[in-house]
Amino acid sequence: MTKDIEVTEHHGGSSEYAAKDYHDPPPAPLFDAEELTKWSFYRALIAEFVATLLFLYVTVLTVIGYKSQTDPKLDLDQCGGVGILGIAWAFGGMIFILVYCTAGISGGHINPAVTFGLFLARKVSLVRAVGYMVAQCLGAICGVGLVKAFQSSYYNRYGGGANELADGYNKGTGLGAEIIGTFVLVYTVFSATDPKRSARDSHVPVLAPLPIGFAVFMVHLATIPITGTGINPARSFGAAVIYNNEKAWDDQWIFWVGPFIGAFAAAVYHQFVLRAGAIKALGSFRSNA
């Protein structure tokens, strides 16, 4: 396979040719109606639905289990249960597992904010992005619904795993936490799946789902005390739909606006600053002129 040739133009007008040892995939079309006729598209939707269902089922059960084991009204050991550390591990670990399982089928998004960021970077088409977001939200609703069906008494008593702004924090703080947390996650997704990084670090067998899962873990450690950690609109929406609590709905906008802003910032930073997309586009325009 021949390597791509990259042209670097210097101030003196001379050009230097350098071989690229990686290949950027072509940008996805903005609207690709042909995808609707392919089984691979619907298979990817099913994979996103099932993955998000499993993600919400395991993680919400973990949250409710921790609260039930440390309920002061039951005179239990307050040091019992998995703790915040265990909850963070549950979210990060499930993302690692599910991204690993579904990456080859759907890309392993499992999060509308991730899908939105990849759409902005032209990694997926509008048709696929919208389809993924719908599948993710439906999967989240079904996953939390299973938790309520199996443990209805605990579910209602311990908050249903719904994201709500914690007492003592204003909405601006909660929004900022969601923006920064999602930026960390989506930035990690871009970096872990960057073909340039894969080529440069080919001697280091880094599994892409691993840093993504760790990013989710670390963000949960930082933001669980503030918002319960959303950084995933489907996760927050699914829990709010099944729990159907007024405060969960009042705070719901934070868990959509924050992650989408964070994903937008991460996409712009990675594509136009780190990968110099704006400079390359300008160079292409100048050469064509």
198 confidence band (pLDDT: 50, 70, 90): low
Residues 195 and 101 sit within 8 Å (Cβ to Cβ): no
Q: At what angle do helices 112-120 and 233-243 cross, to 10 degrees?
A: 150
Residue 3's pLDDT is 43
DSSP notation for 47-109? HHHHHHHHHHHHHHHHHHHHHHHT-GGGT--TT-S-HHHHHHHHHHHHHHHHHHHHTTTT---
For 7-13, which contacts have Cβ atoms below 8 Å and span 24 or more sequence positions? 9/283
254 vs 262: CA distance, rounded Å: 12
Q: At what angle do helices 233-243 and 126-150 cross, to 10 degrees?
A: 40
Task: List domains and CATH numbers for the chain.
Answer: 34-273 (1.20.1080.10)
Count CA atoms closer than 13 A to 267's CA, side-chain side.
18
Mean pLDDT of 131-155: 95
Mean pLDDT of 5-27: 54
pLDDT at 211 over 90: yes
251 vs 247: CA distance, rounded Å: 6
Alpha carbon 268 to chain centroid, angstroms: 16
Q: Where are the beta strands (DSSP E) in the chain?
A: 4-9, 15-20
* Mean pLDDT, all residues of the chain: 85
pLDDT tens per residue across span 26-41? 777 788 888 888 999 9
pLDDT tens per residue across span 244-279? 989 899 999 999 999 999 999 999 999 989 877 555
How far apart, in Å, are the Cα atoms of 277 and each of 116, 221, 268? 18, 33, 9
Count CA atoms closer than 13 A to 174's CA, side-chain side.
23
pLDDT tens per residue across span 39-95? 999 999 999 999 999 999 999 999 998 888 777 677 666 566 678 899 999 999 999
Residue 82's pLDDT is 77
